[in-house]
Structure 1
Amino acid sequence: MANYSTLLLLCVSVVALSFSSISYASDPKALQDFCVADKASQVNVNGFTCKNPKDITADDFVFHGLDKAGNTTNPQGSNVTQVFVAQFPGLNTFGISMARIDYAPWGLNPPHIHPRATEILTVIEGTLEVGFVTSAPDLKLFRKVLYKGDVFIFPIGLIHFQRNIGYGNAVALAALSSQAPGVVPIAASVFGSNPPISDDVLAKAFQVDKKIVDQIQAKF
């Protein structure tokens, strides 16, 4: 009986340790009050080195501009104003970031991935169709129409999108669980990589003629 209790305790400990490791898999836990990114540093680390505390002011903890609409006069009809650590050095080591997304009428934030962050989206104005697709083999689409004040979650690493389905402009705010969530636009990554992926590969992957692949690649 004692051996069984010891084994059970060991199993519980291993599971708890596994979940603890997973919980910090995105960004490392901060070990000090703050570490404002020193963008001028030439030291390469997984993140950014810290600015000298003597040089830090209250301005390092402020980002301006989310009150301004982004330019949506582009083929997608959307604009993302990023507030990641690259734009806001004060976020360094905190494991959070955000963005403002503006949508023209019927504008689309195309399918993309954040490889290092879960995203929570809040609709500020307008009506959005949103969705994400689960990983293989299910590839299940979770889709929802959101209205002003609604909130939706996009799990880390999954393909997701938003589309304005109204006749007026729409605005959303996104919060992300990483200071540098990364953005992988699906279409642009597949058809606009540098150098380009072979059209033989893409033709076979998408089961279409190479001429179609060439036409799509030319757009990127």
Structure 2
Amino acid sequence: MQIIKAKYLVRAVALLALAFSLTSAYDPSPLQDFCVAVKNPASAVFVNGKFWNDPKLATANDFFFSGLNVPRNTSNPLGSNVTAVNVDNLAGLNTLGISLAHIDFAPYGLNPPHTHPRGTEFIIVLEGTLYVGFVMSNGDGNRLFTKTLYPGDVLVFPIGLIHFQFNVGNTNAVAFAGLSSQNPGVITIAKAIFGSDPKINPDVLAKAFQVDKNLVGYLQKQFWSDNN
């Protein structure tokens, strides 16, 4: 009888752990109309990674962001510029579980392979022609999904998967992206691996990429541009 009870207990704990892992993988649902973030913690409550203000003190400006119609500077080595609108610059997004980004591309500009560890993304093209894609995880064979998108086209990048956008036209391109987190985060693969601080041991990278260590040293000495 004790063995049977122990089995049920182990199963219950496993199910609870699974449920917690599933629910904690996404932004929690708000329990109030809104939860405006504030930078000054005095007389504030800490929620979802931000201090939040008394809702009675909120104003329309807490939910307002302007200027995404202004083209951004794309004169960097990547030829792209990402303007993120998240809880860090739009306080009213706190606890709402969404954010967005405006992406400008120079001709043949690239938003390089990256991931958002805390959010699924969809992208809609407003101007130009983008070649976009994402790669499935190791267990699913690293299958590559790609599409060429034209104005009005939409593609979804599942949460956490490596994806990219490349302007294949000889004119500027503009896209908007929506993400399922107030702060989805971004990890640019090449910059994170070869531009980390401090540097990853070259022996580790040489073995991981199956290349000569001198090539790793060369890549680690490069300036890894940031388009955010």
**Structure 1 equivalent of residue 35 of structure 2:** 35
Identify which of 173, 178, 183 aligns with 2:176. 173
Between the aligned residues of both structures, percent identity stands at 59
Structure 2 distance, partners of 1:199, 1:25, is: 33
User: Does structure 1 conserve the Cα–Cα contact (< 8 Å) formed by 2:118 and 2:185?
Assistant: yes
Listed as ranges, the gaps of 5+ residues in structure 2 are 1-14, 224-228
Structure 2 distance, partners of 1:21, 1:197, is: 30
Structure 2 distance, partners of 1:187, 1:21, is: 29
Alignment of structure 1 residues 123-134 onto 2, 5 Å: 123-134=125-136
Identify which of 145, 150, 159 aligns with 1:147. 150
User: Does structure 2 conserve the Cα–Cα contact (< 8 Å) formed by 1:116 and 1:156?
Assistant: yes
Is residue 198 from structure 1 mapped to residue 201 from structure 2 by the alignment? yes
| CA RMSD in angstroms, aligned pairs only | 2.2
Shift of 1:160: 0.1
User: Does structure 2 conserve the Cα–Cα contact (< 8 Å) formed by 1:39 and 1:89?
Assistant: no
Is residue 187 from structure 1 mapped to residue 197 from structure 2 by the alignment? no
Cα deviation 1:33-73 (Å, max 9, x = unaligned): 00000122277654212112333111111111111111100
Structure 2 distance, partners of 1:48, 1:143, is: 36
Listed as ranges, the gaps of 5+ residues in structure 1 are 1-14
Identify which of 150, 159, 165 aligns with 1:162. 165
Shift of 1:87: 1.1
Structure 1 distance, partners of 2:36, 2:67, is: 19
Which amino acid is the alignment partner of residue 144 of structure 1? K
Structure 1 distance, partners of 2:40, 2:198, is: 30
What secondary structure does 1:49 align onto? Answer: strand
Structure 2 distance, partners of 1:109, 1:23, is: 30
> How many residues matched?
207
Normalized against structure 1, the TM-score is what?
Answer: 0.88
Identify which of 29, 52, 55 aligns with 2:54. 52
- Quickly say closer, same or farther: Cα 1:136–1:21, change in 2 above 3 A: closer
Normalized against structure 2, the TM-score is what?
Answer: 0.85
What secondary structure does 2:112 align onto? Answer: strand
